[in-house]
Amino acid sequence: MVLQLIQNENIRETVNGKRVITKKPELLAPAGSLEKLKVAVHYGADAVFIGGQEFGLRSNADNFTIEEMREGVEFAKKYGAVIYVTTNIYAHNENMAGLEEYLRAIADVGVKGIIVADPLIIETCKKVAPELEIHLSTQQSLTNWKAVKFWKSEGLDRVVLAREVGAEEIRLIKEKVDIEIETFIHGAMCIAYSGRCVLSNHMTARDSNRGGCCQSCRWDYDLYENVDGKEVPLFNEDDAPFAMSPKDLKLIESIPHMIELGIDSLKVEGRMKSIHYVATVISVYRKVIDSYCADPDNFKIKREWLEELDRCANRATASAFFEGEPSYKQQMFGFHAKKPEWDFAGFVLDYDEDTQMVTLQQRNYFKTGDTVEFFGPEINTFTMTVGEMWNEDNESIEVANHPLQIVKFKVEKPLHPFNMMRRRTKK
């Protein structure tokens, strides 16, 4: 189903005789490490959300020390980008100690705001670090305008809506309440209302609402009926087992719609994902947002953007609730992952224009003769075949098989630091 796009005059202006969109939404990227943060900003994110070592979900992500946050903030500032810190656990009593000092430290290094679910953290932040913006996390599963109004009355700056909220619901919320709205546009998602799932607690004693989620919603189950105490299977031998694994969210084609709704921040999920994922996804959405805002009347989604996004996808994708109730087609039954056709093979550190030699850091196996592709914000994506290679000691090599090893070879087109190299894994 494709909803009709209603043009929003409040976000437009006439510039040089052309109607353009001047109220651009923020593109918000995830980063599980300082390197990912830098890549996200370099590839076009307006803002990055990161986790500290306490009070945030995703306890498996690398997460930032206060010093790393400072460096991240400084780096982002050069690009005009800002940093938010997730502090979205539902705290137990034992998690309350140290919160004041932590929030103070975050504010002192120049973080712009926190993403939070627990009123304990909201109130503590108002008290000890009032300069921080407070954004309500999707963990609160906000689903209606009246609840949004409540949080506005509590002094919050922004709310992240529940992933179950659709386009028309967002329109009404925007109409009724003057508060910044953030919604997810891309990435893995919970099948449950966020915050309302404790499968992990019950199955593995890992607290999902404090960052321990074991993702048991991705497992297979057998469905039975209890008939007077007898277990009757509701599946046949050859049926796929019961599953509730959602496809990953991908709303690239809905971006114009989201911009017209006046959504303030478009969020990409994935603090655990690689720099390759962050770079690919952010660069594509950057192009979509910029192209639409520059010339909304003649905008078309380019096939190359869709293909580019697919290069880092490891699950099938869907639009979830944005354009209506998701059907069974938005879940995965009987299979779980798809292998990407491209591997992230190298991260460009340097390029010498005189010798045309690139220096890059290996991120995955590659060898002389492989077909590789280079991409990055400064260049047009191009493909080539790897020729002779040298290692850090200028010894000739044919295979780059050591993680993070330094590799040099000749590339005729100019490259820049932060550019990335992919290798085709499937012919």
Give which of 416, 314, 406 is closest to 374, Cα–Cα.
416
Nearest CB to another protein, comparing residues 118 and 269: 118
Tell which positions 288-307 bind another protein, by CB under 8 A. Answer: none
Q: How many CB atoms lie within 10 A of CB 370?
A: 18
Size of the residue set binding another protein (CB under 8 A): 74
- With binding defined as CB under 8 A, does residue 425 bind another protein? no
**Is there binding between residue 337 and another protein (CB under 8 A)?**
no
State the minimum distance, in angstroms, from the CB of residue 37 to another protein: 24
9 token code pair: 């005059």
Cβ-based nearer residue to another protein, 72 or 211: 211
Q: What phi, psi does 332 have (nearest 5°)?
A: -110, 120
| Closest separation in Å from C-beta 56 to another protein | 11
164 versus 370: smaller Cβ distance to another protein: 164
Question: Which of 198, 294, 349, 406 lies at the binding interface for another protein (CB under 8 A)?
Answer: 198
**Of 10-18, 26-34, 116-124, 402-410: span binding another protein (CB under 8 A):** 116-124
Q: What is the CB-side half-sphere exposure of residue 319 using CA atoms within 13 A?
A: 16
Window 151-180: residues binding another protein (CB under 8 A): 151, 153, 162, 164-165, 169, 172-173
* Residue 258: exposure state from Cβ atoms within 10 A (0-12, 13-18, ≥19): buried
- Interaction pattern, residues 15-54, with another protein; x per rule: CB under 8 A: ----------------------------------------
Contacts of 386 (CB under 8 A, 6+ apart): 366, 367, 368, 369, 370, 372, 409
| CB-nearer residue toward another protein: 96 or 357 | 96
| Residue closer to another protein (CB basis): 145 or 390 | 145
**Terminus-to-terminus CA distance in the chain, angstroms?**
34
Of 201, 199, 167, whose CA–CA distance to 183 is shortest? Answer: 167
| DSSP labels, 401-416 | -STT-EEEEE-SS---
Q: Pattern 227-246, binding to another protein, x per CB under 8 A?
A: x-x-x--x----xx-xxx-x
Residues 385 and 426 sit within 8 Å (Cβ to Cβ): no
Place of tokens 């497992």: 219
Residue among 108, 222, 352, 398 that touches another protein (CB under 8 A): 222
Would you count residue 3 as binding another protein (CB under 8 A)? no
Task: Between 283 and 330, name the residue whose CB sits nearer to another protein.
Answer: 330
Is residue 192 near another protein by the rule CB under 8 A? yes
Indicate the residue among 153 and 383 with the shorter CB distance to another protein.
Answer: 153
- What is the residue whose two structure tokens read 């800002």? 82
Instruction: Output 39 or 61, the one with its CB closest to another protein.
Output: 61
Phi, psi of 320 (to 5 degrees): 55, -130
- Choosing from 223, 306, 337, 399, the residue that interacts with another protein (CB under 8 A) is 223
Among residues 166 and 340, whose Cβ is nearest to another protein?
Answer: 166
> Considering only residues 5, 24, 35, 59, which one is a binding residue for another protein as defined by CB under 8 A?
59
- As given in the structure block, the two tokens for residue 200 are 């992990």
Contact present, 47 and 24 (Cβ < 8 Å)? no
Contact 281, 31 (CB under 8 A): no
317 binds another protein (CB under 8 A): no
